[in-house]
A and B are shown apart, each in its own frame.
Chain A
Amino acid sequence: TQLLEQSPQFLSIQEGENLTVYCNSSSVFSSLQWYRQEPGEGPVLLVTVVTGGEVKKLKRLTFQFGDARKDSSLHITAAQPGDTGLYLCAGVPNTGNQFYFGTGTSLTVIP
Chain B
Amino acid sequence: KAGVTQTPRYLIKTRGQQVTLSCSPISGHRSVSWYQQTPGQGLQFLFEYFSETQRNKGNFPGRFSGRQFSNSRSEMNVSTLELGDSALYLCASRDSYEQYFGPGTRLTVT
Shortest CB distance B24–A (Å) = 13
Interface residues on A, range: 20 to 34
- Whether B103 pairs with A103 at a CB distance below 8 angstroms is no
Q: What mask results when residues 81 to 107 of chain B are scored 1 for a CB within 8 Å of chain A, else 0?
A: 000000010101010011111111010
Q: What mask results when residues 22 to 50 of chain A are scored 1 for a CB within 8 Å of chain B, else 0?
A: 00000000110101000011111100101
Which residues from chain B contact A42 at a C-beta distance below 8 Å?
4, 90, 92, 101-104
| Chain B interfacial residues counted at CB < 8 A | 21
A88 proximal to B (CB < 8 A) = yes
Which residues from chain B contact A76 at a C-beta distance below 8 Å?
none
- Whether B33 pairs with A99 at a CB distance below 8 angstroms is yes
Which residues from chain B contact A48 at a C-beta distance below 8 Å?
97-98
In the assembly, what is the distance between CA of A104 and CA of B40, in Å? 12
Q: Point out residues on A near B: beta carbons under 8 Å.
A: 30-31, 33, 35, 40-45, 48, 50, 88, 90-92, 97-101, 103-104
Shortest CB distance B104–A (Å) = 5
- Whether A90 pairs with B42 at a CB distance below 8 angstroms is no
